[in-house]
Amino acid sequence: MSEQLPRKKRILSGIQPTGTFTLGNYVGAVRNWGALQTEEHECLYMIADLHALTVRQEPAKLRRNTREAAAMLLAAGIDPARSLLFVQSHVPAHTQLSWALSCCTQFGELSRMTQYKDKSAKHPDNVNAGLFTYPVLMAADILIYNADLVPVGIDQKQHLELARNIAQRFNGLYSPTFTMPEPYILKAGAKIMSLQEPDKKMSKSDTNANSFVLMTDDADTILRKFKRAVTDSDGVVRASEDKPGVTNLMTIYSVFTGKDFEAIEKEFDGQGYGAFKEAVAQSVIDGLAPIQGEYKRILEDKDYVDGVLKQGAEQASRLADRMVAKVYKKIGLLQL
């Protein structure tokens, strides 16, 4: 064959193990991670336990959350035969690269990160240095594998831009080393909003448990939460900027049924929100049922989960160690 096969694009993404994933995590991130496992991509998916340490964690809980996150990712379609799934702290090269990159990152750049500003305002009693250097570690996560594409939510876009700036700076200071990563931001359903305050992102740290659906919620809970979802008073199922609650429900329904907004508007034409909310809830219940079944099964098989993570860490380490050796040599660290 004369034609050369195009190089596979390498994809890297990470998610923090901060407890059971929400419907928002699934729709906005995890679902897409599964869908990206095609012939054209080489996927690396990481549980960012080191990033989770930037807010105070209960050790036993963090350990449990990490294994549960792995089980949920496997249940939601991450296939270890096609992707590398690993835990960030199991690949020490990330932190090794992070130090080198932090010396190519300016204090001013990090102080401009909006997430840092938001988080330090939210936890004024724990504005730790890790919270500040968090984006450098994230840059290391990405650059260490020469990732081409990084699926992230809008809230991580600034961090990705910083990673690009660091890569460019390093490449210019030394020699071409890092691939410039591109953000991969999905439009449809990228951001699922709170069911109670639909102008806020759905978050499990919300004090109102009715504002989010957890991946492990049972059918009754899911139905109850959708029935209580905040909408508006005009009673028309139509997507519009001034109808954030209804639009959010339509987005969820669209993701789980594959129907577009036009079809959804037609389907519920002349019906109140009651029937609509029940239909949305049912689509979520049906969509999550197989994942929940798998999750339960996989979580019981601790050896399987740990085996997948071990293999993922070994393979990722092989790639990551090579990059660290290359970088350490370039920056002038003595190698024996």
- Write down the least CB distance from residue 251 to ligand TRP, Å: 20
Q: Residue from 14, 24, 28, 312 that binds ligand TRP (CB under 6 A)? A: 14
Q: In this structure, what token pair is assigned to residue 61? A: 């809980």
Instruction: Considering only the stretches 14-22, 117-125, 168-176, 298-306, report the one whose residues sit in contact with ligand TRP under the rule CB under 6 A.
Output: 14-22
- Considering the rule CB under 6 A, would residue 136 count as an interface residue with ligand TRP? no
Is 150 a binder of ligand TRP (CB under 6 A)? yes
Residues contacting 231, CB < 8 A, separation 6+: 243, 245, 246, 249, 273, 277
Q: Interface residues for ligand TRP in 48-77 (CB under 6 A)?
A: 48, 51
What's the CA gap between 113 and 261, in Å, rounded? 35
Is 222:277 a contact under the CB 8 Å cutoff?
A: no
CB of 204 to ligand TRP, least distance (A): 13
Identify which of residues 31 and 51 has a Cβ nearer to ligand TRP in the complex. Answer: 51
CB 125 to ligand TRP: min, Å: 21
201 noted as active-site residue: yes
Angle among Cα 182, 101, 133 to the nearest 5 degrees reads: 90
Answer for which of 84, 138, 215, 298 binds ligand TRP (CB under 6 A) is 138
Residue 326: other Cβ atoms inside 10 A: 12
Q: Compute the least distance from the CB of residue 32 to ligand TRP, in Å.
A: 12
When asked if residue 16 is in the footprint of ligand TRP (CB under 6 A), the reply is yes
- Which of 128, 134, 126 lies closest to 110, judged by CA? 134
- Say how many C-beta atoms besides its own lie within 10 A of residue 17's C-beta: 26
Q: How many residues bind ligand TRP (CB under 6 A)?
A: 13
Residues 6+ apart with CB under 8 A from 173: 104
Residues 202-231 that bind ligand TRP (CB under 6 A): none
- Distance, C-alpha 8 to centroid of its chain: 22
- Active site includes 204? yes
The length of the chain, given as a count of residues:
336
Name the closest residue to ligand TRP (Cβ): 14
Give one DSSP letter per residue of 129-156, joined into a string. HHHHHHHHHHHHHHHTTT-SEEE--GGG
- Residue in 117, 122, 200, 204 annotated catalytic: 204
Residue 252 C-beta: closest distance to ligand TRP, Å: 20
Binding site for ligand TRP (CB under 6 A): 12-16, 48, 51, 138, 141-142, 150, 152, 156
Catalytic residues: 119, 201, 204
